[in-house]
């Protein structure tokens, strides 16, 4: 067969994740309904998969689900104040997943497996108090406490799982009901200790909050593995976001992933919240999980924050020390999430002018799997409300990724306050793009987009930079951007240009 006769393979479409909540969404039990109405429009902008908030029953209907009470209650049983979770009923959730599947979008489930909250009663157990800054150091002799460690799930009545949880299913807690004292208590028992397979911050970071699950107990391990199978039978999800993975056994998580692969089949997308600014620790975790697991790029978020708050910062260093620089296939890139949004515990301040630059850096480049934040698309509610970021342009940038961010990438990271890059397109997605940004004054860059684009006229899809760029016979153009701004240049006749600004 002649080389010209070899059938060219279609270019896979770029994928984009959407975090479908922010911390201050009202507790009106209608969020599943909102997302059901929004999913078709989101998919049209290029959103392929939605990471939904924790859907399991929390300790109250106001909690966001990280205060998890019952894994097997998705808003089906009258427990902890009602049937619904903060987000809605199980029926609403099932309808959301069905609608997402109809339009071609996947759902990622937020699995909170580190702890339980809202116990039904106290139980007595033996403990020692540990140093909060070094949990390997005991600071008291053993004694007994009354801990909120009894979970009976009376509203569920044994349906789906008959296991009830007791003190011996946990490794730690933080409150003694006998005297009202708050401390970090390590629960004692035969063979009980903090997990060895957790992050070494604070000596051992097994304990995070509430009643800390002990995955060395065979009943806990079996119950959570069975829950993974049950969950898929209830809602056909495409992936899982695992919360707080540096706080519970990496060995168990690897075993859980293997179990799900064996019982349900491979192909899940798995991502973990390993909130750690140590790149070495993050890459080691990915290696230990045989690269079956992705992590959110924490160092990139901190780079965005630092650069946006430093006058004349060096943009050429934006990817230094980041996960996407070291493990691009296993890095989920992001600008903000529910933990780093303003007024949250891990808030990472990113100046408004820099948000569009940051979104271009995650959406329009070849490396990483970008995750777009609900609060940047729809705004943030609560006592300190904020409008959608980027002047409402995040959906246009998502669509630009879907339509134009393909092919070879050429970087022009050659000036500290102005960087750019081009994507040359592919045989079946030929448009390409040129992106240039500045964190100082107006600027420009000569960049190559390919001789196949000669004589084309390109304009800024964001509409922030007026004028046109005509590509010369050698495939080069002089692309400009405004002060502390970004421009994304694309052929004015490119397919899909008429969709921009309408979503």
User: Taking a C-beta distance cutoff of 8 angstroms, is the pair 403, 396 a contact?
Assistant: no
**Strand 418-423, strand 409-412: pairing:** antiparallel
Q: Pick the catalytic residue: 129, 223, 273, 327?
A: 273
3-class SS of residue 79: strand
Give Cβ neighbours of residue 389 (< 8 Å, ≥ 6 apart).
352, 355, 356, 375, 376
- Please give the structure tokens belonging to residue 228: 């993974």
- Comparing CA positions, the residue from 289, 356, 370, 359 lying closest to residue 328 is 370
Phi first, then psi: what are they for 130, rounded to 5°? Answer: -120, 160
DSSP 387: P
Distance CA 156, CA 455 (A): 68
Count the Cβ atoms, other than its own, within 10 Å of residue 259: 17
Residue whose structure tokens are 């937020």: 110
| Residues whose CB falls within 8 Å of the CB of residue 25, separated by 6 or more in sequence, listed in order | 31, 86, 374, 381
As a residue count, the chain comes to 503
Q: What angle do CA 111, 117, 120 make, to 5 degrees?
A: 130
DSSP string, 125-174: EEEEEEETTEEEEE-S--EEEEEEEEB--TTTTTSS----B-GGGEEEEE
Distance CA(503)–CA(498), nearest Å, equals 11
d(CA 171, CA 159): 26
As a whole number of Å, the end-to-end CA separation of the chain is 46
Task: List, in sequence order, every beta strand (DSSP E) within 303-456.
Answer: 331-334, 369-373, 409-412, 418-423, 433-438, 443-448
Is 339 labeled as catalytic in the residue annotation? no
Residue 273: active-site member: yes
Among residues 70, 212, 243, 396, which one is catalytic?
243
Q: Which helix (H) or strand (E) holds 107?
A: strand 106-111
* Residues with catalytic function: 243, 273
């Amino acid at each position: 067969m002649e080389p010209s006769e070899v059938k060219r393979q279609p270019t896979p479409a770029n994928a984009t994740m959407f975090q479908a909540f922010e911390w201050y969404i009202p507790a009106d039990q209608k969020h599943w309904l909102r997302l059901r109405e929004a999913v078709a429009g989101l998919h049209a902008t290029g959103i392929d998969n939605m990471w939904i908030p924790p859907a399991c029953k929390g300790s109250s209907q106001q909690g966001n689900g990280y205060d998890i009470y019952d894994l097997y209650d998705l808003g089906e049983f009258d427990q902890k104040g009602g049937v619904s979770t903060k987000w809605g009923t199980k029926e609403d959730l099932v309808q959301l997943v069905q609608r997402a599947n109809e339009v071609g979008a996947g759902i990622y489930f937020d699995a909170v497996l580190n702890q339980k909250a809202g116990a039904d009663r106290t139980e007595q157990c033996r403990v020692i108090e540990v140093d909060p800054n070094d949990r390997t150091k005991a600071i008291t002799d053993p004694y007994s406490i009354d801990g909120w460690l009894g979970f009976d799930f009376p509203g569920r009545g044994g349906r789906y799982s008959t296991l009830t949880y007791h003190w011996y299913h946990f490794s730690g807690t933080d409150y003694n009901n006998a005297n009202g004292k708050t401390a970090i208590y390590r629960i004692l028992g035969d063979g009980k200790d903090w997990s060895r397979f957790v992050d070494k911050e604070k000596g051992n970071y097994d304990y995070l909050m509430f009643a800390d699950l002990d995955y060395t107990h065979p009943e806990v391990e079996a119950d959570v593995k069975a829950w993974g199978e049950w969950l898929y039978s209830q809602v056909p999800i495409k992936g899982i976001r695992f919360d707080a993975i540096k706080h519970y056994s990496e060995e168990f998580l690897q075993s859980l992933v293997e179990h799900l692969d064996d019982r349900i089949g491979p192909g899940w997308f798995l991502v973990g919240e390993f909130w750690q600014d140590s790149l070495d620790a993050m890459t080691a975790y990915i290696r230990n999980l045989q690269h079956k697991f992705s992590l959110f790029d924490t160092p990139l978020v901190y780079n965005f924050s630092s650069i946006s708050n430093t006058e004349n910062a060096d943009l050429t260093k934006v990817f230094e020390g980041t996960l996407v620089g070291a493990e691009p296939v296993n890095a989920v890139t992001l600008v903000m999430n529910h933990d780093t949004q303003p007024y949250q515990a891990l808030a990472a301040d990113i100046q408004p002018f820099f948000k569009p630059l940051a979104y271009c850096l995650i959406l329009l480049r070849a490396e990483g799997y970008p995750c777009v934040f609900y609060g940047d698309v729809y705004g943030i509610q609560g006592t300190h409300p904020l409008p959608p970021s980027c002047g409402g342009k995040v959906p246009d940038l998502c669509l630009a990724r879907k339509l134009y961010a393909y092919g070879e990438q050429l970087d022009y990271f050659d000036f500290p306050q102005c960087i750019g890059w081009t994507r040359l397109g592919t045989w079946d997605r030929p448009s390409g793009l040129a992106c240039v940004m500045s964190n100082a004054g107006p600027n420009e860059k000569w960049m190559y987009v390919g001789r196949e684009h000669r004589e084309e006229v390109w304009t800024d899809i964001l509409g922030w930079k007026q004028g046109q760029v005509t590509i010369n016979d050698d495939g080069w153009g002089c692309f400009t951007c405004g002060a502390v701004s970004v421009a994304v240049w694309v052929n004015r006749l490119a397919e899909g240009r008429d969709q921009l600004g309408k979503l």
